[in-house]
Amino acid sequence: MIITRYVKAMHGNREAASDPRYELDLAIDLRDRCNEEELLELFSRFAGGVGYIDALMRRICLRALAKKVGVGVTVGCDVRISHPETFEIADRVFIGDQTILQGRHDGRFVIGTGTWVGPQSYFDASDLVIEDFVGWGPGAKVLGAEHTGIPTDMPIIQTDLEIAPVRIGAGADVGVNAVILPGVTVGRGSIIGAGAVVTRDVPDFVKVAGIPAAIIGKRAR
């Protein structure tokens, strides 16, 4: 007999406590004294640690590097970042272990308040906005660009990149190992099934699944 239990959500209901003043001051000091290469090296130095100091220094370094980092942000172990100067991370964001945040020098990457990112996720953040309180399942991926493949007499990886914005609406939930392709908008409150490949826009408050993803139901509001 299968017994189902219901428990209160933890991350989504977590209060935003202020970060210590010394942490904010150290981030400012590091930004003033160190260049980007030095800050990235310092971030890497603490990337794999599991202790309090390691987690604290990851957050401090990210705050020194990024365009914006809110309060109560958690940066897991072995997170990898590139072009963090384009990152805008709001309050209470959780970034799971071994996640890759791949920004672009002329891009934009926004993560909204209360968003939870599962471990081993991948973000091609060429032009990516994730709104508030999004659940991002472990191993889920988003692509923000693809090669045009034109002309056909060139290897595809040598052809131009076409960057298309990706938008994930507030309160949406992206399942484990799902893939969001370039140019897709996921509507508010929608559910993307585990392993789905989303190739086109998803309306608000629906459920999609499959390859390619198709609507399988609606959520009651």
Q: Distance (Å, rounded) from C-alpha 70 to C-alpha 44?
A: 21
Q: What is the mean pLDDT of residues 155-171?
A: 95
Q: Is residue 221's pLDDT more than 70?
A: no
| pLDDT tens, residue by residue, 12-71 | 777 777 899 999 999 999 999 999 999 999 999 999 999 999 999 999 999 999 999 999
Q: Which of 201, 206, 131, 117 is nearest to 170 (CA)?
A: 131
Distance of CA 107 to the CA centre of its chain: 14
Helix (H) or strand (E) holding 178: none
Cα distance between residue 19 and residue 83, in whole Å: 24
Q: Which tokens hold the place of 149?
A: 């493949």
* pLDDT of amino acid 17: 75
Q: What is the pLDDT of residue 7?
A: 84
- Which has more confidence, 199 or 7? 199
- Residue 118's pLDDT band (boundaries 50, 70, 90)? very high
Task: In whole angstroms, give the CA distance from residue 173 to residue 192.
Answer: 6
Query: What amino acid positions are annotated as catalytic residues?
Result: 147
